[in-house]
Amino acid sequence: MTRPAPARSSVVGGGVSLVFLVLVGGLLLPACAGTTTTPSPPGPGSTGPARASATVPAGSVPAGPVPGGSVPGGSVPAAADTSAADPGPVEERDVAVGPLTFHARLQGPASGEPVVLLHGFPQSSYEWRHQQRALAAAGYRTVAFDQRGYSPGSRPPAATDYRMDLLIGDVLGVADALGIATFHLVGHDWGAAVAWVVAATHPERLRSLTAVSVPHPAAYAAALTDPGSEQSRKSAYIETFAAPGAGARFGAADSTFLDVVFAKVLPPADIARYRAVLGSPDAMQAALNWYVANNPRRAPGPAVSAVRVRTLYVYSTGDCCLGRDAADATGAFVAAPYRYEVLDGVSHWVPEEAPERLDALLLAHLRSR
């Protein structure tokens, strides 16, 4: 993929230009800002347990990008049809976990199988609105919460307060606070990175795992250090987000950062929902502390074993910050029934750009045994 020519500089915030983001941060914004053409149908999925297992540093996880194929076997389900079912209202509540409080969105019957959904950067629990509606209409009890740094009541100041082990504890803590013993876990971007480690370290709590965009940490780490892989170049943006003062730049009052990121994917009203969460330097820095505390390009973390939970992994070919090498290799690190789906022509923002296709894949996966 070629880099955009620096023909024009638009201010993203605090004097940071789009050219700076593209050239210095390596973000390739146009590729991750979404597609304007109708993507072709996804290819068939692969099923069956993987054969290999491995360990990998927990810190070696892709720290979700900013701005924005398939394997033989299996078939893609038709789009989910939930038009005849009433998903019920979205219930918004605060969930206390120790000294922290997380804002959560719940939808679906209280008696339904629980599904916990973890969002990515720079988003919030609102990212999962389409999936929550579809799953709730199908009888599942969905829980999406604004994670550490995104909820005003869970915004500790130190970057070390955003380590992976603490993020995992938040997921289990929210589930415990809601009385949920076991649950289906779904994650996108940073949420997927956390979900992989939860599955590896606490498989007894999960009914299934779905990871969207981000591959297994071992596959990512291998691609990141492989000179023949494009992943190192695609991950260059991480240093920009982990740099001192990034929160002040991207969270400045005059920043158009979120507008640029979601320009081709979301209408202004939806972008405003994310700005309400991240539209201040302190809030933005809290979210960026995930990159500071878990930078895969600098320091490895504790080892994470292969996943032994029934897994669906969804990758999209238009993802500017996550390469195909790690995606294709992920199955080797799932020692359980595994399905790999590739959405051709879709950008990084799968849950919002291709909601019906993801809804159908999720429902098929959750219903399988």
Q: What is the pLDDT of residues 153-162, one digit of tens each?
A: 999 999 999 9
> At a CB cut-off of 8 Å and minimum separation 6, what does 350 contact?
188, 212, 213, 314, 316, 343, 358
Mean pLDDT of the 22-31 span: 39
* Residues with Cβ within 8 Å of residue 137, at least 6 apart in sequence: 82, 85, 86, 87
Rounded to the nearest 5 degrees, what angle is found at the Cα of 147, between the Cα atoms of 141 and 148?
A: 150
| pLDDT > 70 fraction of the chain, expressed in percent and rounded | 76
CB 324 within 8 A of CB 229: no
Mean pLDDT of 253-276: 96
Q: What is the mean pLDDT of the chain?
A: 82
Output the CA torsion sign for 317, 24, 219, 160.
Answer: negative
What is the pLDDT confidence band of residue 233, given thresholds at 50, 70 and 90? confident
CA–CA dist 351, 356 (Å, integer): 9
More confident residue, 233 or 38: 233
Tokens of 241: 């987000």
pLDDT at residue 305, rounded to an integer: 81
What pTM was estimated for this model as a whole? 0.83
Q: Give the pair of three-digit tokens for residue 218.
A: 């071992």
Mean pLDDT calculated for residue range 35-40:
38
CA–CA separation, 148 vs 162, rounded Å? 7
Q: Is the pLDDT of residue 16 over 50?
A: no
pLDDT of residue 253: 92
Residue 34: the pLDDT is: 62
**In-domain check, residue 3:** no
pLDDT tens for 280-292 read 999 999 999 999 9
Residue 244 lies in a domain: yes
Instruction: Report yes or no on 355 lying in a domain.
Output: yes
Averaged pLDDT for residues 59-63: 37
Residue 357 lies in a domain: yes
Within a domain: 5:
no
In a domain, 108, yes or no: yes
Residue 190 lies in a domain: yes
pLDDT greater than 90 at residue 77: no
Answer whether residue 124 is part of any domain. Answer: yes
* Domain of 216, in residue numbers: 11-80+87-367
Rounded Cα gap, residues 69 and 344, in angstroms: 6
CATH number of the CATH domain containing 300: 3.40.50.1820
78-114 pLDDT per residue, tens: 444 444 478 999 999 999 999 999 999 999 999 999 9
Number of domains composing the chain: 1
* CA atoms of 220 and 256, how far apart (whole Å): 30
Mean pLDDT of 35-46: 37
State the helix-helix crossing angle for 268-278 and 281-293, rounded to 10 degrees. Answer: 80
